[in-house]
Amino acid sequence: MGVESARGRGLGRVVKFHTPQIVFGPGALDEVANAVAALGISRPLLVSDHCLAQTPWLDRVVSDLRRRGLSPEVFLGVTPNPRATEVEAGRAAYGEHHADGLVAVGGGSVIDAAKGIAILASNSGNILEYTGIDKASRSLPPLVAVPSTAGSGADVSQFCILNDTASRTKITIIGRNLVPNIAVIDPRLVTTAPAAVIAQAGMDALTHCVEAFVSLARGRLTDALAVDALVGVWTNLERLVEDPHDADAGAEMSLAALRAGMAFTNAILGAAHAMSHPVGGYCDAPHGAINSVLLPCVIRYNAQVCADDFVDLADAIGVSTTGGARVVADRLADATGDLAHRVGMPSALAPLGVRADDLELLTERALADSCMLTNPRRAEPEGILDVYRQAL
């Protein structure tokens, strides 16, 4: 490996790698009460949503906590693309219960909402004031994350993404203190998710893999995780969408999502997520669906500066690597778009509510998103606007 290659993979600099304690495997849900007690939590606020409440998982967690002698309270006021107002309501519920910690049982929206509640539980002000990096200075209450989808990576990440409905945009809060203390990942939960949610989450995980692998903050650890996760998603997502009760596919997708989450929270992301967040806030569309549209376009955009990296990814998943690197990058972009189509994702932004007149505003917001800082290609307004046009 040459000097430049080594530097590109984090060997020429000091890197930090942060993960929570992880409990993984079928039956891991039975360990939630132990995890909560180990953190010294006696009055947990359980954050979830009404969809998850219709499955057996939430009641099981509540029952286990009570048998352990703990006093849980449940807050179900979270919706997809969680609102800042929902975080405020959760903070009120946390105070009314005199809670001393949180348990998030659900998808990325639920876990992000719980992180927002944690911020406000120990820091004053409005949650929107914490947009950016390391704005929450006070220690947060302990958080146990129990993901019910395979894709968001919120259970191991330092990201909190919330919807500011007043300005119709998403805010990105980043901080090492947002990494949950313990992640309890039971693949059985994934098999009760609707097929559309499985597909959206899986395409989000795939985007995490690709963006972490080419990020300016990448390293050897994140590279290895991103490639392994990409192979896992590529091999199992379609299987799980076709049969959500396929336990083996659910376990493999859960493992892939975990690896992808560990990769991107340490390597950060890039233009696909920076461009996806404004669309999600403006149109209130599913994050994974937006990513599935944008990712092929962003691969082509970034191939100008890192086409060789896309060759490595193409090779890992069996996409032909014959021809020049830019040709292979185009082939990889096509392959990701084809997978998205096969699992039922849209092929353009227009069906998600985006109009041509919206693109300049979305470009402005994408350029201000923190994820753009680690995109391998320097983002210019005209270039990002052109990517949106291609995706429309």
Provide the pLDDT for residue 11. 59
- Sort strands 143-147 and 182-185 into parallel, antiparallel or unpaired: parallel
**Is residue 7 very low, low, confident or very high in pLDDT (cuts 50, 70, 90)?**
very low
Provide the pLDDT for residue 12. 63
Cα–Cα distance measured from residue 110 to residue 117, given in angstroms and rounded to the nearest whole number:
10
Q: Which two tokens stand for residue 313?
A: 């990814």
Residue found by looking up tokens 């990701």 in the block: 336
- Round the average pLDDT of the chain to a whole number and report it: 95
Residue found by looking up tokens 């059985």 in the block: 188
Q: Judge whether residue 332 has pLDDT over 70.
A: yes
Mean pLDDT of 286-293: 97
Provide the pLDDT for residue 5. 45
Provide the pLDDT for residue 65. 98
Provide the pLDDT for residue 2. 37
pLDDT of 74-130, one tens digit each?
999 999 999 999 999 999 999 999 999 999 999 999 999 999 999 999 998 999 999
Q: Which of 2-11, 306-315, 355-364, 380-389 has the lowest mean pLDDT?
A: 2-11
Q: Mapping DSSP to helix (H, G, I), strand (E, B) and coil, where does residue 161 land?
A: strand
pLDDT of 166-225, one tens digit each?
999 999 999 999 999 999 999 999 999 999 999 999 999 999 999 999 999 999 999 999
Provide the pLDDT for residue 6. 42
pTM for the structure as a whole: 0.95
Q: What angle do CA 216, 222, 223 make, to 5 degrees?
A: 80
Provide the pLDDT for residue 10. 54
Axis crossing angle, helix 325-342 with helix 195-214, rounded to the nearest 10: 160
pLDDT of 259-275, one tens digit each?
999 999 999 999 999 99
Class of domain 28-185: alpha beta
Provide the pLDDT for residue 15. 74
Mean pLDDT of 39-65: 97
* Residue 159 near residue 176, CB atoms below 8 Å: no
Mean pLDDT of 263-290: 97
Q: Can you list the alpha helix ranges (DSSP code H) found in 102-218? A: 108-122, 195-214
Provide the pLDDT for residue 9. 58
Amino acid symbol at 66: R
* Residue 41 near residue 70, CB atoms below 8 Å: yes
Cα–Cα distance measured from residue 286 to residue 253, given in angstroms and rounded to the nearest whole number:
19
Domain ranges of the chain: 3-13+195-391, 28-185
Mean pLDDT of 151-162: 96
Q: Judge whether residue 277 has pLDDT over 70.
A: yes
Our measurement of the distance from residue 166's CA atom to the centroid of its chain's CA atoms, rounded to an integer in Å, reads 23
Structural fold of domain 3-13+195-391: Dehydroquinate synthase-like, alpha domain (1.20.1090)
pLDDT of 20-31, one tens digit each?
999 999 999 999
